[in-house]
Amino acid sequence: MKPDLFEAPDYYNLDDLLTEEHIMIRDAARAWVKRDVSPIIEQAAQDAKFPKSIIPGLASIGAFGPYISEEYGGAGLDQISYGLIMQEIERGDSGVRSTASVQSSLVMYPIWKYGTEEQKQKFLPKLASGEFMGSFGLTEPDHGSNPSGMVTRFKDAGDHVILNG
């Protein structure tokens, strides 16, 4: 395990533009990355294994759906807070940041914005806590990352789902 010796210079005085709450949120995410991600992430990369043990920590710093309202398990924060949390996680590891941002923006946001009340109540609190981890399928052999060209479809078959594509 390697200690994280990173010190965050504020060369452009950006901290002056942040509220006290933003600084507190950023510093909490930074401290978590230093303590829980940086010491283990290099070995996890060498082992080609995602460190699942950090999922509760991601939830505890509000990295899963930070802008989702509290009634659905989110932190009810603004987009600046979301960006600050992601920036700190990214400094620790891009894959961990991708995990948090996919969970937030590609899984939770569509449910929050377009889902039924039943779906919001059922999924968002468990996604925010890390009990559920979502995914987002985007790449297909003939369509790359063009979601409008994707041909994969699913069909609810009662007790299972049929995935074709």
Cα–Cα dist 147/82, whole Å: 25
| pLDDT in the model for residue 151 | 84
pLDDT digits (tens, 9 = 90+) for 100-135: 999 999 999 999 999 999 999 999 999 999 999 998
| pLDDT in the model for residue 149 | 83
145 CB neighbour count, 10 Å cutoff: 9
Mean pLDDT (the chain) is: 93
| pLDDT in the model for residue 33 | 97
Q: What domains sit in the chain, N to C, each tagged with a CATH number?
A: 14-133 (1.10.540.10), 135-165 (no CATH)
The pTM score is 0.85
| pLDDT in the model for residue 76 | 96
| pLDDT in the model for residue 142 | 80
| pLDDT in the model for residue 55 | 98
Q: Which parts of the chain register pLDDT below 70?
A: none
Residue 152, burial from CB neighbour count under 10 angstroms (0-12, 13-18, 19+): exposed
| pLDDT in the model for residue 23 | 97
| pLDDT in the model for residue 150 | 81
| pLDDT in the model for residue 24 | 97
Cα-based angle 11, 93, 137 (whole degrees, multiple of 5): 125
| pLDDT in the model for residue 144 | 75
| pLDDT in the model for residue 36 | 97
Residue 40, burial from CB neighbour count under 10 angstroms (0-12, 13-18, 19+): middle
Query: Where does the chain show beta strands of DSSP type E?
Result: 153-156, 161-164
